[in-house]
Structure 1
Amino acid sequence: MSQFLLLMEVSFSLIMIVLVCSDVVLAMAGESEGVFDVRESGAVGDGITDDTEAFLEAWEAACGQECVSSTLVVPDNSSFLVGQIIFKGPCKASQITFQVLGEIVAPASPLYWEGLDPSSWIVFRAVNRLHVTGTGLINGGGTGWWDQSCRYHPELKGCTVLAPTAMKFISCASGSLTKVRFVNSSQTHVLIMGCWLFYVDSLMIKAPGNSPNTDGIHIQSSQYVTISHVAISTGDDCISIGDHTSNIYVFSATCGPGHGISIGSLGRGGNFVQVQNIFVAGVLFRNTTNGARIKTWQVGKGYVRNVLFEHLHFDSVRNPVIIDQNYCFTRGACPEIPHSGVQISNVAYINLFGTSQTEIAINLNCSRTVACTGIMLGSIYLTSASPGKQANSSCTNAYGNTIGRVHPPSCLIS
């Protein structure tokens, strides 16, 4: 019980810090002095003309404005064709609001990216106090990339593994992304990397359930990130949490189709993993491959610790609760690697209910040499999505305790 209370204390301290700071960020975003409409920089907005240079010109003006704040406006009732674009900081403006009211659409053909970085479309780099908001649409036009993806077309000569992420936030602080809609990114929709104190709220992210590698939001090497009130339907993880992350808070989210919310995969290159203080609450998983997942490669080292999954609802999910500490290239046929593995500890699953598409609703597949410790299960009721069938638990080298009723019965080693 003391372990659980400590975890709750850490989590709610995180909530208060992030929400208070986010309120400050959004309040600041309300101030505005300089307004820069991309049409005034020559953008046409007919969905055919390349408006990349006009966007860059408007950005340079907004970024260079020495005032309290500046706003770059992408107006409504227009569709702006924009190629690969990097909005660079630091800026002279004390803060920038990037207001998306219309549509921003990517080039339809992957041939456009020849000679360019194929992993990027819209990038914000080293811009602090940036607030991307609006009711507009970011359309990645990913069909061309999906049709040549090595994941689904490995026999295709020249198939591609890497495709553009729709929007990246790199090396930033005190920023936010709110209300914007994302559809059909070629690969990941939103990447937050190397950022501190970042707030995501009220996003809609959508791509076909069979689209390859189209994660909704990926967080990497970042601290104090809040994600709230998002609806994500994609072909990969709804939200994925990568290495060197801490103090991540996710609440009030709807996920599906997709692969669920994943911590990992971590340690693929044998590196030292550092992930801690992750809080996920109030999430509905509907027809997803996974629900609450932690996956680490056998060759990894380091730790994942202080994680709380709470108030989760699973509607026909294949793997509602899963830890896979033996992740490798040959899924399901990974030989044990002695004296190696990421230490997973102090992970709590509280107030979970719903249905599992598979027999194993709780699957804690931990390393035989580096056990999972401090696992807590409390107030869980998971049943089979198929009438008349049973839902069960499966544990390998997983140590912990239960609180209250747990169904299917716990298989933890106490």
Structure 2
Amino acid sequence: MLMKQLILLLSLVTSAIAAFPYDEFNVFDYGATGFGEIDDSQAFLSAWRDACSTITQSARMIIPKGSFLLNPLLFSGPCEPQNIHFMVLGTIIAPDSPKSWKGRDSSQWIAFKDVIGLHVYGSGLIDGQGMHWWDQSCRYHPKQSKVFITHMTKCSSCFQEGCTKLAPTIFKFISCKESTLSNIYLVNSPQTHVLILNSKGFNVDNVMIQAPENSPNTDGIHIHSSHFVKITNSIIGTGDDCISVGDYTSDIEIANIECGPGHGISIGSLGKNKEVVVVENIHIHDSKLKGTTNGARIKTWQGGKGNIRHVTFENLVFDTVDNPIIIDQNYCDVRGTCKEEKNGVKISDVVYKNLQGTSSSKIAIDLNCSKAVPCTGITMENINLVGLQQGRPVTASCTNAQGREIGVNPGSCFNK
């Protein structure tokens, strides 16, 4: 009997050793150079392959101190470990030329797909090197047929045909569940810095995202077709929205954000090309926006359908913000050029509570709602917005909006 127990114990120990051989996968062990000049993509893919396929409860892929040049990469799941950690201690840099994306998906640089229990974090830096992409952006160069790239180091006469509408995102999280992004620094993405797509149960905490104020379409974080997403304790300053909430999203919490420069924290734009919109249960609170073009913003195109509802903006501070509170149901690429449509996205049950600060424009509250589908159930409570200069009061403008207000300055809006 004792011998059988001993054999059973040895069998269990052997099985445990086989099941949990190693849980750390350092890219240096797979041939990464860490010099920042040689492509280390294959070493990263090999380390991910082993980390993702090992039979263990928790695996960790380590990017140590050093500089790692990566071409566009896709880290795919599903993975065997219940939790897989992607720990960045060094610097990851993108190629400095858009030509590196020739023949590849120009919308992404580093993507994670179909991973459950993914945790991306570390004290390192992720540099998208977006400058050359910005130089050929259609947003700033719409009529551009050719761009001479003068500051490239590897060729003396390189040309890019036409302007660029689509540029890479630093991090794409596609169909990832119960995952996190935390304690990391992202800079200079060619376009959006972080995209959370088709994901559920995703937390972002304590990240810093920076790009120049004039960099085109460099949203900090964009959420699309995702649910139960939480973004907290982060500092974001870019050339576009600090955080934007896209379509088919629900149960989103955004809190303790320092936003600026940028376009503010936005829901939308939604409903373009007559699309059906489903956005609900959005809570944005306890954040500060400084020097942004917008503050708490909802924007939809005419002609869209569906609903944006159950939205709360609460405990926000605006510092020199152009449009602190704004709903634009008549959003258009070129303001005033889109014709009036009979349909629109229904915006309802929106709460603005405990908002204060300074507006750098005359209209501090601007609810520009659709004539065909008015905004309803709007609540404004305890709001105090003033102009930058004493003696220059700000105003409120509400068009096709229905609701109630308590303790609102400037007011009254709904009673006009």
Report the TM-score when normalising by structure 2. 0.90
> Cα deviations across residues 191-228 of structure 1 (Å, max 9, x unaligned)?
00000000000000000000000000000000000000
Measure, in 1, the Cα distance between the counterparts of 2:330 and 2:21: 51
The structural deviation recorded for 1:327 is 1.0
Is 1:73 the counterpart of 2:73? The answer is no
Q: Does 1:283 align with 2:287?
A: yes
* Structure 1 residue identity aligned to 2:241: D
Deviations for 1:370-409, whole angstroms, at most 9, x for unmatched residues? Answer: 0100000000000011332111000111000113x11001
> Which of 90, 96, 113 is residue 78 of structure 2 equivalent to?
90
CA distance in 2, matches of 1:228, 1:139: 22
Unaligned runs of 5+ in 2: 1-19, 146-161
- Of the two structures, which has the highest relative contact order with CA contacts closer than 8 Å and spacing of 6 or more? 1
Letter in 2 for 1:73: I
Q: How far apart are the structure 2 equivalents of 1:79 and 1:341?
A: 49
For 2:325, the equivalent position in structure 1 comes to 321
Shift of 1:295: 0.2
Amino acid in the other structure paired with 2:409? H
**2:353 alignment counterpart:** 350
Distance of 2:176 and 2:200 partners within structure 1: 6
Map of 1:156-305 to 2, 5 A cutoff?
156-157=144-145, 158-305=162-309
Paired residue total: 381
1:43 aligns with 2:29: no
Q: Distance in 2 between matches of 1:111 and 1:315?
A: 40
Looking at structure 2, the residues matched to 104 and 329 of structure 1 have their Cα atoms a distance apart, in angstroms, of 35
> Alpha carbons of 1:413 and 1:247: their partners in 2 closer, same or farther (altered >3 Å)?
farther
Q: Is the 8 A contact 1:141 1:186 kept in 2?
A: yes
The equivalent of 1:392 in structure 2 is 395
Question: How many angstroms does 1:33 deviate by?
Answer: 5.4
Identity of aligned residues (%): 54
Does structure 2 retain, via aligned residues, the 8 Å contact 1:371–1:399? yes
Q: How far apart, CA to CA, are the structure 2 residues paired with 1:32 and 1:242?
A: 42
> Does the 8 A contact of 1:399 with 1:413 survive in 2?
no
Q: Give 2:409's match in structure 1, choosing from 388, 407, 410.
A: 407
The ranges of structure 1 where at least 4 consecutive aligned residues each deviate by more than 3 angstroms after the TM superposition are: none
Give the match for residue 138 of structure 1: 126
1:400–1:413 Cα contact (<8 Å) kept: no
For 1:89 and 1:50, locate their aligned partners in 2 and report how far apart those are by CA, in whole Å: 23
Structure 1 residue runs without a partner (length 5+): 1-30
Using the alignment, how far apart are the partners of 1:169 and 1:333 within structure 2?
35
Kept in 2: contact 1:32–1:69 (CA 8 A) = no
Matched, 1:378 2:366: no
In structure 1, the partner of 2:43 is 54
1:312 paired residue among 302, 316, 337: 316
* 1: CA distance, partners of 2:62 / 2:86: 6
Q: TM-score, normalised by structure 1?
A: 0.90
Tell which structure's C-alpha radius of gyration is larger.
Answer: 2
Partner SS, residue 180 of structure 1? strand
Amino acid at match of 1:248: I
For residues 92 and 269 of structure 1, the distance between their equivalents in structure 2, rounded to whole angstroms, comes to: 41
